[in-house]
A = this chain, B = another copy of it.
Amino acid sequence: MSQRTKVKQILADEKVQYDVTVKGWIRSFRNNQFIALNDGSTNNNLQIVIDPATDPALQKRFTAGAAISVRGEVIASQGKGQRVEVKAREVEILGDSDPEKYPLQLKNKPSLEYLREIAHLRFRTNTFGAVFRVRHSLAFAVHQFFNERGFVYLHTPVITASDAEGAGEMFRVTTLPLNNLPRDVDGEIDFKEDFFGRATNLTVSGQLEGELGAMAFGDIYTFGPTFRAENSNTARHLAEFWMIEPEMAFYDLEDNMNLAEAFIKYVINYVLQHNREDLEFLAQRLVEEEKQKPQQERSEMSLLEKLEFVVNNEFMRLTYTEAIDILKNSKPNKSKKFQYLIEDWGADLQSEHERYLVEKHFKKPVILTDYPAAIKAFYMKQNEDGKTVRAMDILFPGIGEIVGGSQREENYDKLVTRMEQMHLPVEELSWYLDTRRFGACPHAGFGLGFERLVLFVTGMGNIRDVIPFPRTPKSAEF
């Protein structure tokens, strides 16, 4: 098949007087002469100028959504809005699009909610075109960042027999016949008959397996799907989402913070370099969206300013204890505006507290460290004060927690004692504990929810709009 030239390249080259074949989908057709052609390589359309004498029957088929192939010459454009356009010599309809039925007509701009219902077609809009090209670039930047630093990409398992981490509710995975479940002698379901010979679930995190890799390769990262069977119907939660989890041997908490901060800045900088047009479109979209809001609720910075700000400024670092002091003495706490008032050290921070610190108090990304052990996971390194752990959370404006991490407890006895206190099955996790029996070393790691990052970078408001086909309670379409 004759190869096509992509629209992005024709527009970027700005060369004229050469022949091309372009293929894509019609966005609009006006004045019986101008086709706006989009091929998904960029949001910018290529203007195709057709001979007004073109068969009217053919012209009638130049409808939104139709796929066409065009042969013609690239020429300097007479009109506004583009430097070059294609003077068509031949237009072939590859696939029609019935204007009575096609849901994406330019005239009635569809809402994001409606587009979620037709997620299989929403990629064809400017908003989702930009969102998913940015998502692509962020994903590539993730791999490039770690590859450049000699990290090994580790595919940790999705199906797991371990349910010990307690990171969240899990989905059961089974091939047992639900209508005729095998029972053991005690009448219990006999998971020995299940595919894996035991009960299995979908992973909530690749961290524990990641640590095994770090104890051999030094630096590893995961980037894969993780799952939470939690009935959270919010704009920030998904039942299936992608997570990035680096684990590094010979890292302490400060190294961990340095890496996480460098990582976030690197990937944002990458899209600033590679997706300028998409970001400018999304910035404008956000401005339009916020016009509906009262002035004081609108963003203080434009999307691009916000991204530049994150790249160019150091994140604020402070301990949980320092944060509690700030929150205790804050105006919304004193005037009882917080839903959960901060009274004592040890309180778990709610979204309202995180947002106050990030958006009102510091007005920049914040890294909180050294949380109370009681509200953090068993594997975090215990501080000498006997009550805090070497945890770190990175909090972002509008998003809240985007990274959670810690130095890991490498001392076998301390770790086992902690697991026993928390009633975790020490025996079952003996493979994990082996990393503390053979050549233990200080190490650290973190997890970053990829969709939260995409949400922040694209300025979208709902996490369902930054993953192709969202999985949420009562919804698994497509």
What is the interface of chain A, defined by CB distance below 8 A to chain B? 1, 3-4, 6, 8, 23-26, 39-41, 65-67, 69, 94-98, 101-102, 120-121, 123-124, 128-129, 132-133, 135-136, 139-140, 143, 147, 150, 152-162, 169, 171-176, 178-179, 181, 189, 195-198, 200, 202, 209, 212-213, 215-218, 224-225, 227, 229, 231, 239-240, 242, 249-252, 254-255, 410, 431-432, 434-442, 467-469, 471, 473-478
B-chain residues with CB within 8 Å of residue A227 when the two chains form the complex:
158-159
- Pull 24 A–B residue pairs with CB atoms less than 8 Å apart, ordered by A: A1-B250, A6-B150, A40-B217, A94-B440, A96-B439, A97-B438, A120-B212, A124-B215, A139-B155, A155-B468, A157-B469, A157-B476, A159-B239, A159-B471, A160-B476, A161-B476, A161-B477, A169-B175, A174-B174, A179-B189, A196-B471, A196-B473, A197-B473, A209-B469
Beta-carbon contact of B159 and A439 below 8 Å? no
B-chain residues with CB within 8 Å of residue A123 when the two chains form the complex:
212-213, 215-217
Beta-carbon contact of B156 and A469 below 8 Å? yes
Return A466 CB to nearest CB of chain B, in Å: 10
Contact of A95 among B132, B155, B158, B439 (CB under 8 A): B439
CA distance A181 to B249 in the complex (A): 45
Beta-carbon contact of B6 and A218 below 8 Å? yes
CA distance A218 to B94 in the complex (A): 14
CA distance A171 to B435 in the complex (A): 32
Beta-carbon contact of A196 and B474 below 8 Å? yes
Return A136 CB to nearest CB of chain B, in Å: 5
CA distance A225 to B128 in the complex (A): 24
CA distance A200 to B3 in the complex (A): 40
B-chain residues with CB within 8 Å of residue A171 when the two chains form the complex:
159, 173-175, 195
Closest to A192 in B: B474
Further pairs besides A25-B439, A136-B147, A156-B468: 12, Cβ < 8 Å: A3-B255, A23-B250, A40-B249, A67-B441, A98-B438, A128-B216, A143-B143, A158-B225, A162-B478, A172-B178, A196-B475, A209-B469
Beta-carbon contact of B441 and A155 below 8 Å? no
B-chain residues with CB within 8 Å of residue A218 when the two chains form the complex:
6, 24, 39-41
Return A76 CB to nearest CB of chain B, in Å: 25
Beta-carbon contact of A478 and B225 below 8 Å? no
Known: A4-B250, A218-B41, A439-B65. A139 touches B153 (CB 8 A): yes
B-chain residues with CB within 8 Å of residue A121 when the two chains form the complex:
212, 216, 434, 438
Closest to A432 in B: B120
CA distance A97 to B436 in the complex (A): 9
B-chain residues with CB within 8 Å of residue A173 when the two chains form the complex:
171-173, 202
Beta-carbon contact of B441 and A94 below 8 Å? yes
CA distance A161 to B469 in the complex (A): 12
CA distance A293 to B258 in the complex (A): 52
CA distance A175 to B230 in the complex (A): 10
CA distance A442 to B69 in the complex (A): 11
Known: A8-B150, A124-B215. A441 touches B95 (CB 8 A): yes
CA distance A129 to B432 in the complex (A): 19
Return A91 CB to nearest CB of chain B, in Å: 14
Contact of A200 among B254, B436, B468, B476 (CB under 8 A): B476
B-chain residues with CB within 8 Å of residue A8 when the two chains form the complex:
150
CA distance A20 to B238 in the complex (A): 46
Return A264 CB to nearest CB of chain B, in Å: 19
Known: A123-B213, A140-B153, A150-B8. A195 touches B239 (CB 8 A): yes
Known: A178-B189, A209-B478, A410-B95. A158 touches B439 (CB 8 A): no
Known: A39-B218, A173-B173. A1 touches B239 (CB 8 A): no
CA distance A67 to B286 in the complex (A): 51
